[in-house]
Structure 1
């Protein structure tokens, strides 16, 4: 039985991915900052574990408790909308702390065991914002784009140890908590000079005909985790696929 550890499983893409792997017969370690009961039938193959990717001690405790590992899915992330001009650098650093440094910290913690067993896969979940430019998400895009470059380099240095690195790039998911988990940080970031422009951007998002579901991302992560080729990038969701094909 293979084991996957997935970060950011409290809702959205992470929760759907945990369900998908569990349905495929895997042992699932579903992590989140504040553990809560999930609507998944009780199973010896499913555990919820506390893990905050921004805290080294939390990462260490979680990994000490899980045993052998085959796949790491770095899904934990926070969103941010707003004019960059109005975004405090403290907020930018907060976004990078989770989206970029949290992902890197998880990789650094897991690599020694994957290298020693000479097998395993790391799947880093980024965003379709890395496939084409979008307005009002400059800091968020930067945090995810950094992981794209990081993953490409990491894939090369882990290749000889038979450890694979994959990227999954989800599209816009209106059914996720992206906006909700950004609420506190986006207050005051749409200033008066940007108000009219932002209204047009939000209207365009609300009217999007191609969007991404959590199940789209779960399936893409599953395929990435089981792909034995050298493929690095995998768009998730019809809108992301369209952007990837265009680029």
Structure 2
């Protein structure tokens, strides 16, 4: 029975992904900063562990605990919607430490096992926001674009060792905690130049009338990456993400 480790399982994409793999009969190691076992169905195939991807000791403990692993899903991340001019340095560092360096740290922790056994799959969840310039999320986009670049190079490095590497690019999803996580970092509503732009962004994010991404779309894309050897390096997840990828060529 194959085993998958998923980071950031407390809500949204990670939670839906853990549920899907459980339904498919896999062993699932669901990690989150503050474990809540009742979020997922009771199952002998489920292990819930604490993991903070910005904490090297936390990563080490999880890797020591998991044993054999077939698929690693780097989903944990944080968002912030702030004009580049106004973003706090601490917020910018947090975005890169979580989204980029956290992903790098978990890859480095698990990769020796995959390389030595000549098998395994790493799936990094980035964002379709990296496909075109968008206002107010410039630093967030940069942190996710760095994940794209990291993954692209990793795929080349790992090909000789039989380790598959993929990027999943979700679109805008009102179902996730991105908005609630981003709001504490919001700056600029008191600035007459930026206020209209920010209010428009908030209204757009809450608007579910157009194409959006559902958590189930992302889980399905991750499942494809994990189980289909012919899956492409980059997989768009969600109707809006698919459209953006097509437009980006």
Q: What is the TM-score of this pair, normalised by structure 1?
A: 0.96
Residues 206/39 of structure 1: CA separation in 2 closer, same or farther (3 Å cut): closer
Gaps in structure 2 of 5+ consecutive residues = none
- Determine whether 1:94 maps to 2:79: no
| More off after superposition, 202-211 vs 99-108 | 202-211
1:71–1:121 contact (8 Å) kept in structure 2: yes
SS at match of 1:166: strand
Residue 4 of structure 1 corresponds to 4
Q: Distance in 2 between matches of 1:64 and 1:35?
A: 18
Moved more, 210-219 or 175-184: 175-184
Say whether the 8 Å CA contact 2:82–2:185 is kept in structure 1: no
Q: Is the Cα contact below 8 Å between 2:27 and 2:46 reproduced in 1?
A: yes
Q: CA deviation at 1:82?
A: 1.2
- Between the aligned partners of 1:182 and 1:200, the Cα distance in structure 2 is 15
2:243 is equivalent to residue 225 of structure 1: no
Aligned to 1:70: 70
| SS of equivalent to 1:86 | coil
Where do 5+ consecutive residues of structure 1 fail to align? none
Query: What is the aligned-residue RMSD (CA, Å)?
Result: 1.2
- Note the C-alpha offset of 1:34: 0.8
State how far apart, in whole Å, the 2-side matches of 1:206 and 1:36 are.
27
Report what 2:184 is aligned to: 184
What is the match of residue 128 of structure 1?
A: 128
229-238 or 154-163: which moved more? 229-238
Matches for 1:1-247 after TM superposition, within 5 Å: 1-186=1-186, 188-192=187-191, 193-207=193-207, 208-229=209-230, 231-247=232-248
1:98-148 deviations in Å (ceiling 9; x for gaps):
000000000010100011111100000000101122110001000000010
Q: CA deviation at 1:191?
A: 4.3
SS in 1 for 2:48: strand
Report the more deviating stretch, 60-69 or 188-197. 188-197
Q: 1:40 to 1:204 in 2, by over 3 A?
A: closer
Query: Structure 2: how far apart are the matches of 1:191 and 1:17?
Result: 39
* 4+ runs deviating over 6 angstroms: none
Contact 1:128 1:243 in 2 (8 A): yes
Distance between the aligned counterparts of 1:93 and 1:201, measured in 2? 23
1:17, 1:189 → 2: CA distance? Answer: 35
Measure, in 2, the Cα distance between the counterparts of 1:138 and 1:202.
Answer: 15
Distance 2:63 2:190 in 1: 43
Q: Is the 8 A contact 2:22 2:46 kept in 1?
A: yes
